[in-house]
Amino acid sequence: MKRVASGFATGFATGLANFLCALALLAAGPASAAPAGIRQFDADSLGTLLATQKGQPFVLVLWSLDCPFCEASLRTLSKKMRADKNLRVVTLGTDTLSDPRNATLMEQRLAALGLAANAWALGAQPAEQLRYAVDRQWHGELPRSYWFGADGVGAAKSGLISARAVDRFLSRRH
């Protein structure tokens, strides 16, 4: 009888320890969780992203950490936003949030440029599926931008975003 009680106590203690460890992991959340300012973009997120702009004109720019033309485009948009507070920019990082290092680097880069307020990045679904969800005609070239009017209609553009392109957008918007 003593051996059974001892075995029960040991099993109970081990089970309790495992339960508490599992509970702590659940409380901590997934390791791939996005930083607070970056929202995860999944195959069904485009409608939500568009709705966040509430019928206002805005630029959606797709970018990557390792794309020098993306960096230049983000800098141009940042500079123009400082000059015109009504310019709305939404960023969609093509580096996946499932890599915590990418998530941190994206958040830091966007924060440094003042572009962290409306930040999204690809989620865990396959990149091809997410590209298709954004635009069936887009094959992954970067930078890629979409210039949306208040009516919600967007025009796609691949390549470097110039100050002149932003100025044209702003002049049509007013």
All residues at 6 or more sequence positions from 137 whose CB lies less than 8 Å from its CB, including other chains:
156
Q: Which fold has domain 38-173?
A: Glutaredoxin (3.40.30)
From 128, 133, 173, 132, select the one nearest 153 (Cα to Cα): 173
From 146, 152, 171, 121, select the one nearest 54 (Cα to Cα): 152
What pLDDT shows up at residue 82?
Answer: 97
And the tokens for 168? 């044209």
Mean pLDDT of 9-24: 43
CA distance 103 to 73: 20
pLDDT tens figures, 159-172: 999 999 999 999 98
pLDDT tens figures, 136-147: 999 999 999 999
Mean pLDDT of 69-81: 99
Report whether 94 contacts 64 (CB < 8 A): yes
Which residue ranges make up each domain of the chain?
1-30, 38-173
The sign of the dihedral angle between the CA atoms of 137, 69, 49, 104 is: positive
